[in-house]
Amino acid sequence: MAEKPNFAILRDEFAAEDGSFLIQLRCGLKWDRAAFLRLVTAMDQCCADLEGAEQVERWVADGFWYVSWFVQSWATHENFPREFPEKYYQDAFRLLFDLASYFFSGSHPYTDRRFRFIEEISRDR
């Protein structure tokens, strides 16, 4: 069976491949909004695809765990250039936490099953 497209995106993102959100954040000290949207959209779809799954691959779990804390840790460092309003970053950090919660619990954190920040940043593109 072929890997779903969102899993291929996650594999590249979690491995910090060229052009990924993580490689730009870590090495380039750049918050790429389009790359962030690509990452969180793939994470959201992955959670939906795996909802109810009894087992998941370790690399997926490792990636969700890692981004849930690393992005905030790195982007809140005093030397990280912050070009967007503080609310944007706080919403982004919350989204990563909520996505990790969804992944690890198997339950969507919102009753309407919508991540409004994903919708908001999708419109802003």
Neighbours of 25 (CB within 10 A): 22
Structure confidence by residue, pLDDT tens digits, 2-48: 556 789 999 999 999 999 999 999 999 999 999 999 999 999 999 99
DSSP-assigned letter for residue 32: -
Residue given tokens 């910090």 in the structure block: 16
- C-alpha 114/C-alpha 107 separation (Å) is 12
Domain ranges of the chain: 5-123
The pLDDT tens digits for 91-101 are 999 999 999 99
Those residues with Cβ within 8 angstroms of residue 100's Cβ, 6 or more apart along the chain or in another chain: 64, 65, 67, 68
Q: What is the pTM of this model?
A: 0.93
